[in-house]
């Protein structure tokens, strides 16, 4: 496992930006997707802080250090499942949530360098795992003792709580 100094010394690793001439002819995202190797390297920039200010700043309280530890070890499915434990749509939240003001804005690495690209990694890991057809949130018991989404009690919702804009989507 990398030391915090080694993690801090890793430079920011952002995917390439699509050229404007190409963007006007397609609906693809502005930034190209990470490769799994790039995502692992970017996740390793996370210092895995005990006090996790990124997690505290997240409205969903995603376990960002935990997911990035798994991603840094190459466990993309585990990282995706970690994000899915607190969000129904981590791939959407990774794109539309204002990370620069919330989790990335409170990232300790961001005090002197570019913060870890939390939103882009969150979207990538879920997109990547789903594209490969892996089943997420398996029914196997969690080795850490965390409850499984499939085993959690159902919560009744009313029509008004699910049909009025993006806020009830819990993103």
Domain boundaries, the chain: 4-169
Residues 6+ apart with CB under 8 A from 137: 81, 84, 85, 148, 149, 150
As given in the structure block, the two tokens for residue 111 are: 């005090």
d(CA 103, CA 13): 18
Tens-binned pLDDT, residue by residue, of the chain (171 aa): 899 999 999 999 888 899 999 999 999 889 888 999 999 999 999 999 999 999 999 999 999 999 999 999 999 999 999 999 998 889 899 999 999 999 999 999 999 999 999 999 999 999 999 888 766 655 555 556 555 555 444 445 444 445 555 555 555
Q: Is 168 helix (H, G, I), strand (E, B) or coil?
A: helix
8 Å CB contact between 140 and 65: no
- What pTM value is reported for the model? 0.76
Q: Does domain 4-169 have CATH number 1.10.260.30?
A: no
As given in the structure block, the two tokens for residue 19 are: 């050229």
d(CA 102, CA 107): 9
């Amino acid at each position: 496992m990398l030391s915090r100094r080694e993690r801090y010394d890793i430079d920011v690793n952002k995917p390439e930006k699509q050229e404007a001439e190409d963007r006007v002819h397609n609906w693809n995202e502005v930034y190209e997707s990470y490769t799994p190797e790039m995502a692992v390297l970017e996740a390793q920039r996370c210092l895995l802080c005990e006090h996790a200010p990124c997690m505290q700043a997240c409205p969903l309280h995603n376990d960002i250090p935990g997911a990035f530890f798994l991603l840094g070890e190459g466990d993309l499915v585990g990282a995706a499942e970690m994000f899915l434990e607190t969000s129904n749509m981590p791939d959407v939240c990774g794109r539309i949530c204002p990370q620069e003001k919330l989790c990335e804005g409170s990232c300790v690495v961001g005090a002197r360098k570019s913060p870890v690209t939390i939103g882009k990694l969150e979207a990538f890991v879920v997109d990547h795992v789903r594209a490969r057809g892996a089943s997420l949130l398996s029914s196997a018991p969690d080795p850490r003792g965390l409850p499984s989404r499939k085993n959690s009690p159902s919560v009744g919702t009313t029509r008004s709580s699910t049909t009025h804009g993006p806020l009830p989507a819990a993103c």
